[in-house]
Amino acid sequence: RKEVEQDPGPFNVPEGATVAFNCTYSNSASQSFFWYRQDCRKEPKLLMSVYSSGNEDGRFTAQLNRASQYISLLIRDSKLSDSATYLCVVNSRGSSNTGKLIFGQGTTLQVKP
Amino acid sequence: DAGVTQSPTHLIKTRGQQVTLRCSPKSGHDTVSWYQQALGQGPQFIFQYYEEEERQRGNFPDRFSGHQFPNYSSELNVNALLLGDSALYLCASSLRRTGSSGNTIYFGEGSWLTVV
């Protein structure tokens, strides 16, 4: 079993749609959680950290359920520019800057006009 | 302020050869991690260097080795290349200070390695 599991998709949605991505992780000792965005043939870039209380950044909302070891990302009012691969990432350390990052396979989103 | 820089950006090697990839971390960062990303997969952790020592290692064979220099830059070496080593190799830099706000892991653009 992979440490971080995601549905690879692809998710094909029209502009303006709301889309949700889910992710599960196996290590209950995991401390930090993130969503990264990766454009085609580019490096991953941090989209947002994920907190137990849930957090929102504009059209993006992330949720963490530690009991279920489940992480989600909701994108509202999808834009063409949201088309990318979204990587669910877990860190076993409490800080974002130590320890190794464990990446999911990534979920591909294609937003169509 | 230069971000994470990696070289070369693309290279082609033959099976059995050896390759060295280079990384300069973001200014002010002291920790370098290397990741391998095969096509269609998420990045996989290879190892991490801090204070010129390997601090953590992922599930990669000894053919993968590295080094960190006093200026915090790093090299990734892969010996006896296999076709399966073809991938994007990403360098990530960070600052090994816990509790600091605003610390983030930054990735370089990667080195695309093709083994033929």
Chain A / chain B CB contacts < 8 angstroms: 63
> pLDDT tens digit string along A22-34?
999 998 888 889 9
B109 contacts A95? CB cut-off 8 A: no
3-state class (DSSP) for residue B85: helix
How large is the average pLDDT for residues A79-85? 98
How many CA atoms lie within 13 Å of A64's alpha carbon, on the beta-carbon side?
A: 21
Residue A91 binned pLDDT confidence (cut-offs 50, 70, 90): confident
Best interface-test mutation with B: which of A3, A85, A86, A101 has the largest number of B CBs within 10 A? A101
Give yes or no for a contact between B91 and B23, defined as CB atoms under 8 angstroms apart. Answer: yes
- Report pLDDT for A99: 66
Residue B101 binned pLDDT confidence (cut-offs 50, 70, 90): very low
